[in-house]
Amino acid sequence: MAWLSLTEWKTLQGVTGTENDAQVTALLPLTEQAIEDWIGRKIEAADYVEDYDGYGTTEIVLRNRPVTEFGPVIQSPNRTFGEDPMDTSVLSMDPDSGVLSIDTGGGGYDPFLFGSPADAIFHPGKRTVRVEYTAGYLAANIPGDLKLLLAEVVSARLNSSGSEGIKSETLGSYSYTLGDSLDSLSPTSKATLDAWRDRSNLR
């Protein structure tokens, strides 16, 4: 579901005419995608099954946030993922940061929770930790700064005479990505992009 409807966009931008309705309707979801690509994370709520590297620590950071549910979590050194899931009672999640932690009860090894000290970490290895989780915002709860950003980027596209601020445009399929030059955006929108990008788990 889109962050903004056509009606909401027109209200925010003070538009009453209908001559650009078709183009705005096409641009809204594609601009959302362009913003998500730029900041490196998905915004709307969705279910994920993702594999992460283990670094021999008690924490990993999930790619999408806020996290509303998680589990099962499986460690698989051979990447078969046939092992039993980890006991969720020893796992904790910070929803906003997406940090998944193994709780060792105050920083020490607890033999009643773990078979050996080595089990109290995410084992070193490439893509050996599989996490199933739900993350993102419901359409009704999309943050207001992102809605305002979306409205302005769409307006900038409509008002530009060429490709300023937008690149990789294909009019036939209405697909594009945000350009490297964002001079047409207000300082507030630039700050919003930077803020969301800065707190993303970019790869």
% pLDDT > 90, the chain:
48
The whole-angstrom separation of Cα 202 and Cα 140 is: 26
**Helix, strand or coil, per DSSP, at residue 109:** coil
Percent over 70 (pLDDT), the chain: 77
Q: How far apart are CA 31 and CA 37, in angstroms?
A: 10
61 beta partners? 99
Rg (CA), the chain: 21
Determine contact, residues 83/72, Cβ cutoff 8 Å: no
Tell me how far apart the alpha carbons of residues 24 and 30 are, in angstroms, rounded to a whole number: 10
Token representation of residue 118: 């080595």
Residue 35 to residue 53: CA distance in whole angstroms: 26
Of residues 84 and 105, the one with the higher pLDDT is 84
Q: Report pLDDT for 178.
A: 63
What residues contact residue 63 under an 8 Å CB cut-off, 6+ apart? 40, 41, 48, 50, 98, 201, 203
- 149-202 pLDDT, tens digit per residue, is 999 989 888 877 444 444 444 434 444 556 544 667 889 988 998 888 866 544
**pLDDT per residue as tens digits for the range 38-76:** 888 899 999 999 999 999 889 999 999 999 999 999 999
Locate tokens 């209908």: which residue? 18
Top-confidence residue, 203 or 28: 28
Distance CA 136, CA 12 (A): 23
Supply the mean pLDDT for the chain. Answer: 82
Left (φ > 0), alpha (ψ -120 to 50) or beta: where does 12 sit?
A: alpha
Q: What is the pTM of this model?
A: 0.74
